[in-house]
Amino acid sequence: MTSNPQDFLISFSMSVRDTMKRLNQVEGQALYVVDEGGRLLGSVTDGDIRRYLMNGNPAEHDISEIYTRNPVRIRIGYRSPEVRRLMQTHKIESVPVVDADDRVVEVLLWETAFRETGRLTRRKLDVPVIIMAGGKGTRMDPFTRILPKPLVPIDDRPVIELVIERFLAHGLDKFFLSVNHKSRILKAYFEEANPQYRIRWIEEDKPLGTAGGLRFLEGKINGPFFVSNCDIIVNADLAGLFEYHQARQNEITIVASLKRYPIPYGLCEIENDGTLIRLREKPEYDLLVNIGLYVVNDSALRWIPPDQYFDFTDLIVAAKQKSAKVGVYPIEENDWIDVGQWEVYRNAIKVFQGHGGDVQR
């Protein structure tokens, strides 16, 4: 029921960006802030970080202003039923064990705590996944003169297999593929591969954009569903994403990556009258960028016009015009790869050949 506590312990001086990276490396969805003597000061969760980033705050600031003081804890000498009761009551997936001086000596995890009872720790997601695979993939020319974009190879496998594999790892096994360009080649590939999961096809008889094909699902799908581009490989907590979507009562949730953009020039900040406030030499900015992964309620399908070219950005605009709630779920920059760009494609090959790179295999 325990894990190495040092993996979960951080200083309040750690940056928000580095805290995000550390959270991705541990189970339990929380880290614990300690002083130099190892005494418990607080906790920080992925939810704390999401709220901070969505308010436009910089990722390079430390966590001193966002961590929760006086977190739930348990003393040495605990009993397993007490741990389970504490986790259920407070809806937490880990809890630190402290000694008489409040020094953290263990971290207990939900998964192992409830394994003794035979209960599943996370419910299996029974949610459809729609993969938009009908584009021409012009950014990957000349590959896509011959192959449909989903079959562009990464190492010895097509990218579509790697995309689907990430969903399968979370228990998601109901797939729709929206196809148009070179669809016969893609369908022939899956007929030959004979995968253990089910694929249903959305046939576009003409290009319908990144969302137009979703209209064919109206009346055929109930409840929220995932939508993914066919050329992004994402290492995110999909169960956490889905729970976030439902808890926030969003109509659409956009997954966005924290990305740092450098300005290669000195930046002049000025008053309205042109007076210089300060000169910042080659500043860097943290922005949240749309990666092409969403959770969508089935009720949003009615805003997609039938048999018309319609991009996902158009669907977002339509949702906002209807005053529907559109949320953003931030992930760390290294948690995804867009293999639809040559430079990033080469990095993806290195990742899957084991030669380094960012996204965890």
Write the pLDDT tens digit of every residue in 145-184: 667 778 877 777 888 998 999 999 888 999 999 988 677 8
Lowest-pLDDT choice from 73-82, 135-144, 330-339: 135-144
The pLDDT value given to residue 10: 95
What is the mean pLDDT of the segment spanning 82-110?
90
Q: Which of 77, 69, 26 is nearest to 9 (CA)?
A: 26
Phi, psi (degrees; rounded to nearest 5) at 287 = -125, 155
220's CB contacts (< 8 A; 6+ apart) are: none
List, for residues 192-232, the tens digit of each pLDDT value.
888 888 899 998 888 899 999 999 999 899 999 999 998 89
**From the CA atom positions of the chain, what is the Rg in Å?**
23
What percent of the chain clears pLDDT 70, i.e. is strictly above it? 86
User: Alpha carbon 303 to chain centroid distance?
Assistant: 25
The pLDDT value given to residue 351: 60
What percent of the chain clears pLDDT 90, i.e. is strictly above it? 50
Domain with CATH 3.90.550.10 in the chain: 129-352
The CATH class of the 2-115 domain is alpha beta
The pLDDT value given to residue 132: 92
The one-letter amino acid at 46: D
CATH topology (fold) of 129-352: Spore Coat Polysaccharide Biosynthesis Protein SpsA; Chain A (3.90.550)
Q: From CA 296, how far away is CA 25, in angstroms rounded?
A: 28
Domain with CATH 3.10.580.10 in the chain: 2-115
Q: State the chain's mean pLDDT as an integer.
A: 86
Q: From CA 75, how far away is CA 2, in angstroms rounded?
A: 14
CB atoms within 10 A of CB 301: 19
Query: Predicted confidence band at 1 (pLDDT cuts at 50, 70, 90)?
Result: very low
The pLDDT value given to residue 361: 41
Query: Predicted confidence band at 120 (pLDDT cuts at 50, 70, 90)?
Result: very low
pTM listed for this prediction: 0.78
The number of helices, as runs of H, and strands, as runs of E, in the chain is 10, 21
Residue 118: pLDDT over 80:
no
